[in-house]
Chains A and B, each alone.
Chain A
Amino acid sequence: MSATVTVPAGGSAPGTTAGKTEVRNVTFWRVLRSEWIKLWSLRSTWWTLGSTVVVIVGFALMMALIVQLVGNEMEGAAPEDQAAMGGMLGGTMVVSAGFDMAALVVAVLGALMITGEYSTGMIRSTFAAVPSRLPAFFGKAVVLALVTVVLITVSLALSWLVTYPILSSNDATVDFGDSGQVRSLLGTVLYVTLVALFALGLGALLRHTAGAIFTVVAIFLVIPTIVQIATFAASQLEWVGTVNKLLPSVAGAQITPNAGAFPDVLEPWVGISVLAGYTVLVLTGAAMRLKLQDA
């Protein structure tokens, strides 16, 4: 009989490294890299980003087809009527038609970035590595903003490319020489980015995926719809109009080509500042809860 020594798999000599392991101080730059890795290593990221592109390009194509149909109808109409129609269905409007739906999809990504960590327990690993906590949260915000800006810019460019043949034959292309049109497209990028950050903040406040997404949809879709009906049903009530123009979605959308027709609205830059204000408010509240409460 020979004695056998069993060596547990996975290393019976449980050493650490022979050489010294390289470990550096935590910096914001390193936290950003970590958040970047985290974002791209989840399937949900690819799903939401892909959906955003599909939504923006899909809506643009749909609107372009409408432009084509209307163009066919207007064949032979008076030139001033055709011009009026072109103003209502301009190129920027077509290209960015899906912006509010896209904002909701990106909002899901924003909320998931933090609620996904709470629901799985990952947040404890995150805060163990970055115990001052706020760099991790702001790292997420920076990564989210960066990705959203690039994503929406690329999506709009794709929409422009895909709809160009239809729009050019109807004389309704985007005029990049017109600063107003350029501003409205950049404004669209800004709007979606702010909504994404708003959702990230809500996610950190509520720490619950479904709750955060439900709240975002309520604030950016359900409530505006109700208020919109109210503005038409009770147009004599001045405060309804005031509430409407101060809604995050209505105020923020004034800078985009698809502002919606309301009698009383804010100036584009004022409107987007109002949305930015709400976003800063939510992010600040989230940062405070993150810092003060147990993970």
Chain B
Amino acid sequence: MIEATGLTKRYGSKTAVDGVTFTVQPGQVTGFLGPNGAGKSTTMRMIVGLDKPTAGTVTVNGKPYAAHRSPLAEVGALLDAKAVHTGRTARNHLLAMAATHGIPTKRVDEVIELTGLRPVASKRVGGFSLGMGQRLGIAAALLGDPRTLILDEPVNGLDPEGVLWVRNIAKYLASEGRTVFLSSHLMSEVALTADHVLVIGKGRILADAPVSEIVDGAARKIVRVRSPQATVLAELLKGTDAEVDAVEPGLLEIRGTDAATIGELAASARVVLHELTPVASTLEEAYMSLTADSVEYQSEAIAGHAGTQSDLEGSKA
């Protein structure tokens, strides 16, 4: 269990994490989702005491991380970059980590086996691929058989087989009653792995809900309507609280009401419909709509393209 209260981190005038409060429950995989630069890694570093919060507190299994007498048994953390000396072999790295907690060599060999590192265990880490580095990070996180796992972008650089493996291991560990907190900027990854999701943008928590709820609730559902009398229908809908978007002549995208209501309205006004389709939203869309305003590095439309678009809008008006 991880509990953060008013957790804040400022670097000079820049606020990386802005008073976030959340609880990560044991027994499920919690995804930590947000665009790059949203504050995911900073939050995770504060959880394991590497960065000191400017304000607020965060505890793991009831205590601040540094107050635990055997921290590796409480939290296993895979942090963003490779946190390993490149000149040391994988096995020696794990042996050195294990020594701090009196963890026997047998366990070191176990996690090497578990993470599929055996062929490279006696090779120096400097020559590792990104995927091998990630596996080593996960091996180190598992060393102390911890009750809580914090994995920052664990599937980064992994091949499809490795991605599947991380997904399985995260779910398995959660099923054992452990707390699994996993960050990603990839919606699809979180959708597949997590049961619960925390969405963060510009240092603030934007959503904290089960994955299914985010998909159903937070996203705005769209109904696509094709009609030769689209303008008439749009006029009729103006009386309701529905939001109408004329995508192209004869095609409307309607938000804020459902297909049945639109169908009935159209029938009562004798408007012909060629298509009436509820478009199921995805977690991806929910995510995009949640984080649209909080993307740190927004890609701007190419100037020429933007110009054409506004030109078009101008000619329409």
Contacts and interface: CB of A to CB of B under 8 A. Distances in A.
Interface stretch (B21-29, B43-51, B288-296): B43-51
B65 interface: yes
B145 A37 contact: no
Contacts of A16: 114, 142, 145, 173, 176
Contacts of B87: 42-44, 116, 120
B164 A25 contact: no
Interface in B61-118: 65-66, 68-73, 77, 79, 81-89, 92-93, 95-97, 99-104, 107, 110, 113-116
A26 interface: yes
B104 A128 contact: no
A104 B88 CA distance: 24
Contacts of A127: 49-50
B102 A22 contact: yes
A10 B165 contact: yes
Contact of B84 (A8, A37, A43, A125): A125
Given A21-B107, A295-B51, A130 B144 contact: no
A294 B52 contact: yes
Contact of A9 (B73, B79, B116): B116
B115 A37 contact: no
Contacts of B128: none
Given A16-B176, A24-B70, A34-B99, A294 B50 contact: yes
Contact of A129 (B85, B86, B100, B114): B100
Contacts of B140: 125
A8 B161 contact: yes
Contacts of B48: 128, 131
Contacts of A41: 88-89, 92-93, 95-96
Contact of A24 (B65, B77, B101, B162): B101
B309 interface: no
Contact of B101 (A26, A43, A294, A295): A26
Nearest to B42: A294
A33 B164 CA distance: 36
A129 B165 contact: no
A42 B85 contact: yes
B100 A42 contact: no
Nearest to A121: B83
Nearest to B98: A34
A17 B69 contact: no
Among A14, A33, A35, the most chain B Cβ lie within 10 Å of the Cβ of: A14
Question: What bracket does the count of chain A residues touching chain B fall in?
Answer: 35 or more
A291 B124 CA distance: 30
Nearest to B102: A24
Contact of A38 (B83, B96, B176): B96
A112 to B, nearest CB: 10
A14 B172 contact: yes
Contacts of A35: 96
Contacts of B72: 23, 128-129
A169 interface: no
A22 B52 contact: no
A209 to B, nearest CB: 12
Nearest to A123: B83
Contacts of A11: 113-116, 165, 169
B277 interface: no
Contact of B88 (A34, A38, A294): A38
B8 to A, nearest CB: 14
Nearest to B84: A122
A37 B99 contact: yes
B70 A23 contact: yes
Contacts of B161: 8-10
Nearest to A124: B83
Nearest to A130: B100
A26 B176 contact: no
A120 B86 contact: yes
B115 A131 contact: no
A121 B50 contact: no
B129 interface: no
Nearest to A293: B52
Interface in B164-183: 164-165, 168-169, 172-173, 176
A31 B93 CA distance: 14
A280 to B, nearest CB: 25
A120 B99 CA distance: 20
Contacts of B204: none
A12 interface: yes
B185 interface: no
Given A30-B99, A38-B88, A125-B83, A14 B165 contact: yes
Nearest to A9: B116
A125 B168 CA distance: 25
A14 B169 contact: yes
B306 to A, nearest CB: 40
B97 A125 contact: yes
Given A10-B165, A11-B165, A37-B96, A21 B51 contact: no
A22 B51 contact: no
Contact of A120 (B84, B89, B142, B164): B84
Contacts of B162: 8, 10
B135 interface: yes
6 contacts: A10-B114, A11-B115, A17-B110, A21-B107, A24-B70, A125-B93
Interchain residue pairs A-B with the least CB separation, the first 4: A10-B116, A24-B102, A14-B169, A41-B92
